[in-house]
Amino acid sequence: MRAALGAAIERLRKVAPDVAWVAPANLHLTLKFLGQVDERRLEEIAAGLRGAAAGLTAFDAVMAGLGAFPSASRPRVVWAGVAGGAPGLTELAGRVERACAALGFPPETRPFSPHITLGRVRAPRRDARLADLLATAARDEFGRSRVEGLALMESELSPRGARYTERASARLG
């Protein structure tokens, strides 16, 4: 799946050089963004994630289609969508949201939309070539992944991109 998404990024890069593209090794699906977190809270967050994962069984997610937020005609974020497994991801994200809210993290105001961010547009503007390429890839399938758990990730931003470190994990079931 990463290789297929990496190939899609390379096709998009040719028509949209003003996008900060994600390195294929860093591609991920975010259930909840927490922001800056005190190291001393990691265990309570990990316990909340284990609780959120309890009782759910593993499922498959199929990554398919490209698009953009807020729209393909005026993109800010370019993404790959979820064609199969979206209900399971939505359920898991809802559980994570509730667990984090119980720990005092502010709730997300937008509805959850399962996707993998491929790139962020540096200077948002209309881009007909990018919109056309996204439209032609709206049904492309990039692969299937077994969702067996979730991870609490730390991100460190640098001029060379983000570096991710797993801080905790929880298995479904």
Query: Which of the residues are catalytic?
Result: 28, 115
Question: Residue 100 and residue 102: Cα distance in Å, rounded?
Answer: 5
Non-local CB neighbours of 29 within 8 Å, separated by 6+ positions:
61, 82, 89, 114, 115, 116
How far, CA to CA in Å, does 130 sit from each of 23, 28, 38, 43, 106? Answer: 19, 22, 39, 43, 34
Task: Please name the helix (run of DSSP H) or strand (run of DSSP E) that holds residue 96, with its range, or none.
Answer: helix 86-102
